[in-house]
Every structure is written in C-alpha cells, then in structure tokens.
Amino acid sequence: MSTIQKEREELIEMFGIHFELLYNLPPLGSRILGLLIVDGCKTGLTFEEIVEKMGASKSSISTNLNLLLKMDKINYYTISGDRKKYFKPSPFSERLSNYIKILDFEKKIIDKLITYREQTISCKEEQCNMENVKAYKAHVCEVEELLIKTIEKFKEIEINNSKNN
C-alpha cells in the first residue's frame, strides 16, 4: 500500500471517529461521510463506488446514506440519461448552518433561564450562577457572529467555485 493510500485511509478513519463523536453517527455512516469528503468532493461517488470502497453490504450502505441525507450531511445529484445518483458531502455553508439552529435554541434556553433566575434569586450562589449564565450568553452570541461570518465566506467561495465549473 502506498504512503498516500495509507494517509487517505487514516484520514477517512479520523473523520469517521470525529463524526461518530460529534454527530453521534453510526461508525459506517461516519466513515461514508469521511470518504465523501476525501474522495467525493469533485464529482461525487456513486452508490456502487461507495459499496466497493467501504466493503460493506448494500443494505448497510443504503441505510447509512439515507441517514446522512436526512441529517443534511450529504447531497446527491443525477445526470440526465444516467440512472445513478452521485453523492457528495453537503457544502460547508449548509453544514455550518445547522450550528446556527443549535445556537438559536441555546440562546432561547439561556434567555428563559435568565428571566427565571431574575425572578427567583435568593442567595449568593444563584447570583453567581446568573453572572455565569450572562457571560455564557455573551460567548454564545460571539460564536454565532463568527459563525455567520464564516458561513458567508463559505457561500462566497462556493458561488465562485460553481461559476468556474
């Protein structure tokens, strides 16, 4: 096995472990996503190519592809006259947009806790908790601003790349 092939397989495995932990995905789904990021960013990979590269059953691959599609981690496209689907990882801008949804919900929870705490503070510990929660909210807002800027950059890059192809 060549050095570059070994590095490719290590990279797919690292992505797999990362996505298992981050998204709570099954191991095969995590590795399929890693495979698509490493090998499928140009033209995508067909179902048959994924089965061949992963060495798993068609039903297992199909189940995990459907999960990844439902979670918006991957997309597919078809070519007129060709019955195959070509799977690709979702663009960075789309994948990061999911984090905005998480942050929005977290901000709602924080706001509700602040409102509750303001009405019920009865000791120093609760006052300290309130200060921590407000500091955490400021942090979440900063992360959201940075994430929005990053998504805008990715969208710009993706639009430019689509114009050049």
> How many domains is the chain partitioned into structurally?
2
Q: Do 47 and 62 contact (CB within 8 A), yes or no? A: yes
- Average pLDDT score over residue span 97-121: 93
DSSP codes joined into one string, 104-124: HHHHHHHHHHHHHHHHH--SH
pLDDT tens, residue by residue, 138-163: 999 999 999 999 999 999 998 998 88
In this prediction, residue 165 has a pLDDT band, given cuts at 50, 70 and 90, of low
> Is residue 127 located within the same domain as residue 154?
yes
> Is residue 78 located within the same domain as residue 17?
yes
The domain of 127 spans 92-164
For residue 101, CA distances in Å to 2, 95, 106, 147 come to 42, 11, 9, 11
Which of 49, 48, 39 is closest to 88 using CA atoms? Answer: 39
> Is residue 77 located within the same domain as residue 97?
no
Query: 38, 70, 89 — which closes off a domain?
Result: 89
Report residue 85: phi and psi, to 5°: -100, 140
- pTM for this structure? 0.79
In this prediction, residue 103 has a pLDDT band, given cuts at 50, 70 and 90, of very high
> Is residue 7 located within the same domain as residue 81?
yes
**DSSP code of 90?**
P
> Is residue 66 located within the same domain as residue 110?
no
Task: Tell me the C-alpha distance between 135 and 96, whole Å.
Answer: 24
Residue 42 has a pLDDT of 84
Query: 54, 89, 124 — which closes off a domain?
Result: 89
> Is residue 70 located within the same domain as residue 117?
no
Q: Select the more confidently predicted residue: 155 or 164.
A: 155
Task: Tell me the C-alpha distance between 93 and 74, whole Å.
Answer: 12
Query: 73, 89, 105 — which closes off a domain?
Result: 89
DSSP codes joined into one string, 11-56: HHHHHHHHHHHHH---HHHHHHHHHHHHHSSSS-EEHHHHHHHHT-
